[in-house]
Structure 1
Amino acid sequence: MNLPLKLTDRKRQAVVDAAIAEFRTSGFEATSMDKIAATAGVSKRTVYNHFPSKDELFAQILHQLWNSTAALMETPYVAGLPLRQQLMEILGKKMAMLQDAYFLDLARVAIAETIHSPARAHEMVARLSAKEEAVTQWLRAAQADGKLRDADPALASQMLQGQLKTFAFWPQVTLNQPPLDAATQQKVLDATVDMFLAYYGRDSGREPAPAN
């Protein structure tokens, strides 16, 4: 059971939410701590008590973005279970994350700011890639179990997750398209998993690509 947040925690989250809203509307550089305080409904001193600078506020937004991917770390490979069943569970979690309105707001703010700061972009990509390593580890385990063809697991992971993001992340983040409805989400999941297994599955009938 989730306990109610303390007043100080509620104020801290209100500041983060206000920063997300203001960064989205005006951009990082044009947003002042005064404006964030006004939007959050707290004093400027309260903002600075929690976050000494805008950079630290932005770092908190990134931190929450990284933490949103933690559920993917909770799905280890299980020998004996059908690959399709396991992949549907993994990608189902990722789909839920990618279509979550709060996650999309975090991602929009992070991506918009990193366009103006290559150093931040490099850090963001590196840290998100580290989180997505969980899927790569799952694929390695499936290969070791003889269920997937020998191939670069990092590339396979990028192709698997990239297919999902093509429909269920980038249109929402870059074009402000609405989240997919449940039926479309299921279609995307089914097609993504079936296409992946058709190429990488041991029983697909496809010869493995030669190693470079």
Structure 2
Amino acid sequence: MQAYEFINNLIPPLKLNDKVALALNWMEEIRTDILPVVDESRFMGFVTEELVFSLNDPENTFANIPLENISCFVYQDKHIYDVIKVASEYHSNMIAVVDRENHYLGVVTMEDAISAFADSLSIQSAGAVLVLSMNMTDYSLSEISRIIESENTKILSSFLSSDPLDDSKIKLTLKLDKTELRHVKATIERFGYRILDHFQEEEGVNGEQERIDNLFRFLQI
């Protein structure tokens, strides 16, 4: 799941000698509010719809305009996780992809990155989500898997983060292959694990927005 695999070839790059009017036309045609700018295969930064309107000068070129997020890029061999991390750091809906010689290859949109991330975490699969809290010293995915599998349930994916209720602990979010959690929850609690929350999902989740919503629930964003 490397960045270059998710390049969106429908997003064209602007050049430094292009006029602001062209950016507006492309944004309207592609239905985006951000476009990359390149100069002889070098990524120079992004131009946003907000920046374009603030200039109020359709004949101006991007060679005369300070571009945004000039460091909002990842190398082509970086994992999709790194794409999302960089996008979050720069609060950008688009991330440039370059090779190791810094030649521009294209962009990945946040929509595509989130879809890929959701796939990697089995968000689209039917099942349920279970959120546990524990000390880092008590964390053993193999032991937790053994407990869950004793109830004929399997872990499809897992995600570690800080516990919002206790900075000294971690939060383990698990995607399970069963929608019914009653017996699993009872068994986990019997082994001393604290359950923060759970989400029981419908069979056959469909639609891009539903997938994104489920991802946010999974990560507790």
For Structure 1 versus Structure 2, the TM-score category normalised by the shorter chain is under 0.3
Radius of gyration: which is bigger?
2
TM-score relative to the length of structure 2: 0.27
In terms of fraction of residues, the more strand-rich structure is 2
TM-score relative to the length of structure 1: 0.27
